[in-house]
Structure 1
């Protein structure tokens, strides 16, 4: 009989149960790997649609002949666009009541709020924002103004982010609940209020209201308004188009969805002359003449041809998703608004309002295949928006290879159901892409059928 050497109790236990020892080591290793994964670089989602479908809008529009919109209808839309663009300068009262403008002060008290360090915000945060916002004396100002840079419109007068839940998909970064929208440089606004420290102005366009830093705007007088309104508007065909004043450095770049007055059309030198607003040392507007390469700008509205739509969409394809215009990027409704602005359509800013813009066809109560069939038969490429609560998409037509409806949209991600977890996750796409209505379908069971876009669609919107 073989005897074990003399061992103390701890050593003997480990010796008698080697599997327990190895299990402990594996558990520690697993926890280490999971902790490391939390700090690892997140890789972009490998969605089959994005790999397989050409990310070129022109591929799906090549068969379309003639204008996308009836010219008379487009002209009527563009008149509405101009009226809405300049309307803030001609209001005698604020468009929005105090109850609407300061609704966040009440609504956010019902939420758990987190800061940029993923820790809960101080209980005093909302009280400090209320003191800064001065809701009891709204409206304090009535001053026509203009944005002199691409201005971030904030819910409260702060540049600090606020998140609803850092560990929950769609509630942490980049979903900063303070980010309302982005307003391009050169946009007429009305200042209706200011913060207690006088560093922030509450402004409104015809489609959004919120707080901007004073240095992002400049006051306008009657002479500036008359000069700015006297010229035809021009729009940009791409982002990051240099706008170069004649005797000073560039003040901002042009971007799709933005409009500036065109003082002189393209010359032999290949430049268009526009009026660019700049803020002087007194906070007032000076209009400076600036040059823009003629291939990057065109008089509004652009001819509504398939080629023009393809060029604009392709200029934005693959761009990073930007909640509320964060970092000057686009979310789903900003993409739709900016693309159609170039063609003179005055679409609202958020997806719910956009879904009410045209003639609607309900998709509720239909199965996924029934929805796809209805979209194929009644949807018109580039004239049809597809809506689900919280997301909106542009119908591109049918993929020639698969006969599936395809869409262009700025997409954050696809809902996932990780095994052994009660929480949903996200397969992050995070950019503007062309997909079918079932991106991520191949990821089953990680992506469940009920989480596919087609199952969530509730409405089809016909713009023409």
Structure 2
């Protein structure tokens, strides 16, 4: 996710000699909006950069020490009041201040206190066994147990205060608590603690949950988003939204055997978790059309595939915490790599320092010249991390590095007036790196805290 500093002040800016395209982006031409433009320039675009064994090892490291993701299987089977209360407090931390509500009215402390009371921390038992579940649909993670929407300002409605991320179908959770109104479960996810709607989680045993997660992928979603086939006979698996990188196990269905009222011969049968009426976990077969953008496993990790996957999001509206059926800057990078079998942490800061990835860290002692040399040598798929934001290198033109990023604005110096100019993007966009500023005075390259070499062995 982007930090408030990036949201409020910028996303980029530029040196004075850079021509500005009609779109308001410097050093840019329309042909740069094609993945093939960059694939043609990439060295050995179809070379496999990490093989399947190396990719699997990276996934394991992502759940290890300092990897950025939480291994739920290693969590204690008994949870204490102090532990759960600490998680509830952690979950309430949000980078976006709650100033106005959806009607534009001021948010009062009394309004927030009402939501905190619904968290019912006083009812957390001294000790209780952990319970387990699987998400049954794409569902938001929330900082407090509420669907109420709060914003920092009228002109910042793209960034909702309580939005804490997303759960994709089939993701595991440890259930630690419930809200006073019983409509919300407080869960620990692989990303961290949050509230999630009770209706969107099915409760099962640890063995049921983790056995499902461990199943080999039958189909991996390689499009920006696909849906299961509409099936009125089985509403629990009908038109389920599946984002890029979601991996579903194959359903044990004989060739041509009907699934939920339709033949399976022209589709891919997959297995999805469903929630029974009593809230317990069950599994049901569903269909993905063969024409849908999916693959039988994770895509080979090549420069061409990195570019093709990233460009499938081009033009998508920016979605803070995966709002609007979309994603934000770190959601973009993590989903591209998830479709290739690599799991990245959910926020830009952790992507910049995850022990599962190779990176070069930068401090104030690194000169501008050193930073320029580093980005000049950056490869396709490398990540540029600045405070609150992450961008992906897609190649170089005349030695200048270019990125794809999910960002509110491009900010740069107008070559005529020499004044800072802000072009609203609010979408996944292609831009040059060097002309852009991270705030009103600092170029992105000078604000860079990490250059992540995701694909290096």
- Could you say which TM-score interval applies, normalised by the shorter chain? 0.7 to 0.9
- In the alignment, is the contact (CA less than 8 A) between 1:148 and 1:216 conserved in 2? yes
Task: Please give the alpha-carbon distance, in whole angstroms, between the structure 2 residues aligned to 1:388 and 1:230.
Answer: 34
CA deviations over 1:138-193 (Å, ceiling 9, x no partner): 467732111111110000111112223335xxxx2111120010111111111111
1:198 paired residue number: 182
Task: Note if contact 1:237-1:297 (Cα within 8 Å) is conserved in structure 2.
Answer: yes
SS in 1 for 2:49: coil
Aligned partners of 2:70 and 2:191 also within 8 Å? no
Return the offset for 1:310: 2.7
Q: What aligned pairs does 1:14-413 form with structure 2 within 5 A after superposition?
A: 46-49=24-27, 51-52=29-30, 54-62=32-40, 63-65=42-44, 66-79=47-60, 87-88=71-72, 91=75, 92-93=77-78, 98-103=85-90, 113-138=99-124, 142-166=130-154, 172-221=156-205, 224-225=208-209, 228-229=212-213, 231-233=215-217, 234-244=219-229, 247-249=233-235, 250-263=238-251, 269-294=265-290, 295-357=292-354, 358-365=357-364, 366=366, 370-377=370-377, 379-382=378-381, 384-399=382-397, 402-413=398-409
The secondary structure found in structure 1 opposite 2:251 is strand
Larger Rg, first or second structure (1 or 2) = 1
**By how many angstroms is 1:46 displaced?**
2.9
Aligned length: 402
Q: What SS does the aligned partner of 1:283 have?
A: coil
Q: Which runs of 5+ in 2 are unaligned?
A: 1-21, 257-264, 415-419
CA deviations on 1:295-335 (whole Å, 9 max, x unpaired) are: 52224332112332233212212111101111221111111
Deviation for aligned residue 1:128: 1.1
Is the alpha carbon distance of 1:293 and 1:370 closer, same or farther for their aligned partners in structure 2, counting shifts above 3 Å? same
Q: Distance in 1 between matches of 2:254 and 2:423?
A: 45
| Distance change in 2, residues 1:315/1:266 (3 Å) | farther
RMSD (Å), alpha carbons: 3.5
Deviation string 1:410-450 (CA, Å, 9 cap, x unpaired) is 112135899xxxxx995321111121114668xxxxx9973
TM-score, normalised relative to structure 1 = 0.76
More helix by share: 1
Q: For residues 151 and 375 of structure 1, do their structure 2 counterparts lie closer, same or farther at Cα, with a shift above 3 Å needed?
A: same
Instruction: Report if aligned partners of 2:221, 2:243 keep a CA contact under 8 Å in 1.
Output: yes
Counterpart-to-counterpart distance in 2, 1:94 and 1:144: 12
For 2:310 and 2:254, the matched residues in 1 are separated by: 24
Runs (5+) with no aligned partner, structure 1: 1-43, 419-423, 442-446
